[in-house]
Amino acid sequence: MTVIQIKDIAQYEGQEVTLRGWVYNRTDKGRLQFIQFRDGTGIAQCVAFKKEMSPEAFEIAGKLTQESSVIVTGTVRKDERAPGIPGGYEVGLSKLELVQMADEYPITPKDHGVEFLMDNRHLWVRSTRQWAILRIRATIINAMRNWLDDNGYMLVDTPILTPSAGEDTTTLFKIDYFGEPAFLAQTGQLYNEANMAAFGKVYCFGPTFRAEKSKTRRHLMEFWMLEPEMAFFSLEDLMDMEEQFISHVVQTVLAKHRAELDILERDTSKLEKVVAPFARISYDEAVERLQKLAAETEDPEQKELLQMEWGGDFGSPHETAIAEMFDQPVFVYNYPRRSRRFTCNRWKAAPKSAGAWTCWRRRATGRLPAAVSAFPTRR
RNA sequence: UCCACAGUAGCUCAAUGGCAGAGCAAUCGGCUGUUAACCGAUGGGUUCCUGGUUCGAGUCCAGGCUGUGGAGCCA
């Protein structure tokens, strides 16, 4: 008895194998049962035919509910009709051992609302879409760390319990530290500015917290943030580094996760264009482009949203509009100093610049998405 | 914090102010190639909460709660 993983099913054509997993869906055809079976690595169709099994095992096969756990044994055969991930192969069952019959599993292979799904998050992670998202998330984290480790950056973890704010712009989560106030970290920046002077190029990657009841797709109270800090880096060095880094992450995901991106129905042609160098425009040019766009826009509501004076900061509609002007991510650099409230080094090549930059890309409607926990905190 | 929309069966949603409904899920029956199978049957309700208008409220009004989308703040 060879226990295999579904992702490797093609290697076992003609062989008898054992699969251990859960029933994803089942189609009852009387003397024939099609069981969509998942084991965490993929989904394979198992076919139970009455004449090829013991009467007891076939009776169980006909009663399996969604997400019941089962150990099955059968012969792998190639069949174009077989759905699954990877698909194209199915298992003709000879044995079936029930581990646990699932009772009243709430999530069906149909549409559900987000509220309901979040209430059942512990089960939602079993569905294909969440499966794909979390697998890609793991690769993104791996690729980010690999690139930094391979390019001379050293990981230094920074504290999660901190005595004060790192950036004074956002609200901190206050906690009781043996009678003294302490806060959940909102950034590792201050610690790694110190570590940077010891090691040259460092980064931290961990959970950060913002006690804001904000309500946009760019805000979360708890998220994982990667923060590199580098000594003697110019603004151009920063943009060079960031575009190399992002390109590596995106291209790694494309190379490893075609099946998952397919499940997510993602247009990969957009991701394929995420290759350094990215577009770069100055703050001045961004403002000019927005003013031109606002002048040409017919829709009065959109026209109002796109209004932009030099010296102001960009709002969500501005970010989206600029990002949509380019096929690739775009840097906006040389912000006016007065538009940035947090600490930025003055950039000598542009006296009025704060040396700040942001990188925006299409689709995510704004800044690059941060990594999120598998069980995101909601307000 | 502001604006808009929503809350009805386990889920997704219907229902001119006039008998509370469908599909899926569950249970039972049928079928050897299903792809969210199909066909037949059965069970399933504090219509978010409180109050009001009305002969009569899921539906109209007031307040509240919860959620979704957008804005602001911000990363």
pLDDT in tens, A307-363: 888 877 787 788 878 888 888 888 888 777 655 444 444 333 333 344 455 655 543
Q: Name the residue with higher pLDDT: A12 or A108.
A: A12
Q: Which of A216, A232, A248 is the last residue of a domain?
A: A232
Residue A16 pLDDT: 96
* CATH at A206: 3.30.930.10
Task: Name the nt closest to A103 by C-alpha to C1'.
Answer: B26
Residue A305 pLDDT: 81
The interface predicted TM-score (ipTM) is: 0.81
Identify the band that residue A150 occupies on the pLDDT scale cut at 50, 70 and 90: very high
How distant is C1' of B7 from CA of A128, in Å? Answer: 28
Name the nearest CA neighbour of A258 among A85, A43, A89, A82. A85
* CATH at A86: 2.40.50.140
Measured to protein CB atoms, the chain B nucleotides within 7 Å are 1-2, 10-13, 23-28, 30-38, 66-75
- Please tell me whether residues A290 and A305 are part of one structural domain: yes
CA distance A177 to A183: 9
Q: What is the mean pLDDT of residues A26-43?
A: 93
How distant is C1' of B18 from CA of A244, in Å? Answer: 69
- Please tell me whether residues A226 and A240 are part of one structural domain: no
Nearest residue (CA) to C1' of B66? A115
What amino acid is encoded at A84 in this protein?
G
For A274, the domain range is: 109-147+236-379
- Please tell me whether residues A254 and A341 are part of one structural domain: yes
Q: Which of A232, A249, A276 is the last residue of a domain?
A: A232
Q: Helix H segments across A178-219?
A: 189-199
Q: How far is CA A37 from CA A9, A100, A238, in A?
A: 12, 14, 47
Task: Name the nt closest to A214 by C-alpha to C1'.
Answer: B73
Residue A3 pLDDT: 96
Task: Name the nt closest to A77 by C-alpha to C1'.
Answer: B33
The percent of residues in chain A predicted with pLDDT above 70, rounded, is 85
